[in-house]
Amino acid sequence: MLEALRPYLPILTLWCAVCAVASLVVRELGVRCLRKYPLTAAVLILSLLALPAAGVIRIARPYRKRIVTLLRREKSVPLSQSGCQMFPPDNIWNRKIQDLPLDPHSNAYISAMNPGDKLHADFGRLGGYQYTVTDGTEPNNQMTFESSESDRGPYRIPDSAIVEEASDRHVLVLDRGNCLLYELFLATHTGHGQWSASSGAIFDLRSNRLRPEGWTSADAAGTAIVPGLARYDEVAAGRISHALRFTTQRTRRAFVWPARHFASSSSDPNLPPMGQRFRLKAGVDIGGFSQQTRVLLTALKEYGMVLCDIGGNWYVSGALDSRWSSSVPGEFASLHGSDFEAVDVSSLRIAPDSGQARQ
């Protein structure tokens, strides 16, 4: 208890001193006499109110962003890539795949993934992933992990980092100063500078290095979440130059490059493995859609999407942003799983532990 109060002892001590001074003034002058000196009375009252207010502000400081989020319902700051590209240009996530051959199991995968289900925009004005952007000056955290497949650190996650409200409780932090990405799964803020999580992963955005084979991350596939999100700023600029992340309900107990981990006990060869790349078929006409949706669907044709986690069938991941057009979800829903095909990207792999892709 005393340890928890230690940061606030100076404020409590100062407030007690002000209370003692106020008590002496009132006792010596009396209330009637004090009315003759309204300025003195005002100073005493403001001092008594200001110090507790300062204490409340200090206590609430680590939760400032969460409080603002609840009040404003804007759950994420637009991701700035200034000085930090989402992996090198030759990374597989940034590689076009529209001319690559079909995966030989494409038809089987599509059939197993409910081809009649609608394409779902798992983002928009009211939903989507949240992330925190920092300048990299945060102090190192004290971290506790359950999984041995977690990077040791150091981590620099601010106390005010957004914790996902959904059951996975992701914490996603872009350290823009050092071009590092910190991603936690089942995270809990346990104290000033302290976090616990089921697992944690650090991604160097300047590197093509993959996580150790067999290791998970905040995503079931052992991949990074943030680089695969649909982000409004990119759409507003007119182009998405990377693959998107998506989920499906049933997968195989296997993973393919660039994934590092599976999330299934099924050995059914008709089910897709984690990391499988899909693309929107070239013949799908997207000319009649709105501008935002056309940018998104063009990316799904040129760069495709990577299966990264268990979730709804054909759920494409993106960031929550109040600027998304309300027409995007409905236009996505006019397409179905049958409009997609699986792609064989194995010819692009240079090394098994690297995300670098042949051009």
Per residue in 216-240, pLDDT (tens digit) is 999 999 999 999 999 999 999 999 9
Report the pLDDT averaged over residues 192-205.
Answer: 97
pTM of the model: 0.76
CA dist., res. 247 & res. 43, Å (int): 60
Asked whether 120 and 316 are in contact (CB, 8 A), the reply is yes
Q: What is the mean pLDDT of the chain?
A: 87
pLDDT band at 50 (very low <50, low <70, confident <90, very high): low
Q: Which pair of structure tokens corresponds to residue 3?
A: 């340890």
245 pLDDT higher than 80: yes
pLDDT at residue 327, rounded to an integer: 96
pLDDT value of position 81: 44
Residue-level pLDDT at 167: 87
* pLDDT tens-digit series, residues 65-100: 444 433 333 333 334 445 688 999 999 999 999 999
pLDDT in the model for residue 84: 85
- pLDDT for the residue numbered 79: 41
Q: Ranked by mean pLDDT, which of 23-32, 157-166, 272-281 comes out on top?
A: 272-281
pLDDT class for 41, splitting at 50, 70, 90?
A: low
pLDDT for the residue numbered 36: 65
Q: Contact 270/108 with Cβ under 8 angstroms?
A: yes
pLDDT at position 46: 72
Rounded CA-CA distance 266/199 in Å is: 23
At 95-127, the pLDDT tens digits run 999 999 999 999 999 999 999 999 999 999 999
CB 328 within 8 A of CB 292: yes
Is the pLDDT reported for residue 312 higher than 90?
Answer: yes
Comparing CA positions, the residue from 237, 278, 322 lying closest to residue 97 is 278
Count of beta carbons in the 10 Å neighbourhood of residue 227: 24
**Phi, then psi, of 349 in degrees rounded to 5:** -70, 130
Q: Express each pLDDT in 149-183 by its tens digit.
A: 999 999 999 999 999 988 899 999 999 999 999 99
Q: Which two tokens stand for residue 80?
A: 């700035």
What's the pLDDT score for residue 175? 95
Domain spans in the chain, listed from the N-terminal domain onward: 2-72, 92-348
**Percent helix / strand / coil, the chain, rounded to 5:** 30, 20, 50
Strand-pair partners of 245:
306
User: Tokens 């920092």 appear where?
Assistant: 134
b/e map of 129-158 (b: 16 or more CB within 10 Å)?
bbbbbbeeebeebebebeeebbbeeebbbb
Q: What percent of the chain has pLDDT over 90?
A: 74
Expressed in angstroms, the distance from the first to the final Cα of the chain is: 60
- Cis peptide preceding 154, ω within 30 of 0: yes
